[in-house]
A = this chain, B = another copy of it.
Amino acid sequence: MPTPHPGTPVRGSTTGRPIMAAMDLFGRRWALRVLWELRAGPLGARALLARCEGMSSSVLYQRLRELMASGIIAPSADGYELTPLGAALSPALRSFHEWANTWAQAQEADALKEPLTQSGGG
C-alpha cells in the first residue's frame, strides 16, 4: 500500500495522473478527516485521536506518514500542521463543506416529502 504520488501509477490508474493519485490518497479512511481537523492550525497526535472518534492510532499514524510523504502535512512544534501545499487544499475542503450543507438541506426536504415512516404524518 505505497503512498500515491502524482506521476506514478497508483491503485486505479496506471497513468499517474495527479487527480488519480489524489483520489487514491484521499479515498483512504480518515485521510480527509485528518486534513479537516488540521485546517485551523496544528494539532498533536493525541488531539487528533480525540477529535476523530473511532479512529485507531495505528491508522492515524499510517495516514500521518502518507500525508507527510506527500508533502501535505509536516511535523511542527505543536504537533502536525498543513504545509503550504496542504493549505492549498482549503478551497476544496471548503467547497466540500458547502456541498455537505446542501446535502443536509436536500435530505430535510426529502423527509418532508416522504413521511412514510410515520403512520399519521401531519
Give A contacts to B, CB under 8 Å: 5-7, 11-14, 17-23, 26-33, 36, 52-55, 70-71, 85, 88-89, 91-92, 95-104, 106-108, 110
Contacts and interface: CB of A to CB of B under 8 A. Distances in A.
Contacts of A20: 33
A112 B19 CA distance: 22
Grouping DSSP codes into helix (H, G, I), strand (E, B) and loop, the A interface class, with mixed when no group exceeds half, is helix
26 contacts: A6-B100, A7-B104, A12-B30, A12-B54, A12-B55, A18-B100, A18-B104, A19-B36, A19-B96, A19-B101, A21-B103, A22-B99, A23-B33, A23-B36, A26-B26, A26-B32, A27-B28, A27-B30, A27-B31, A27-B33, A71-B103, A71-B106, A85-B103, A89-B99, A91-B99, A92-B96
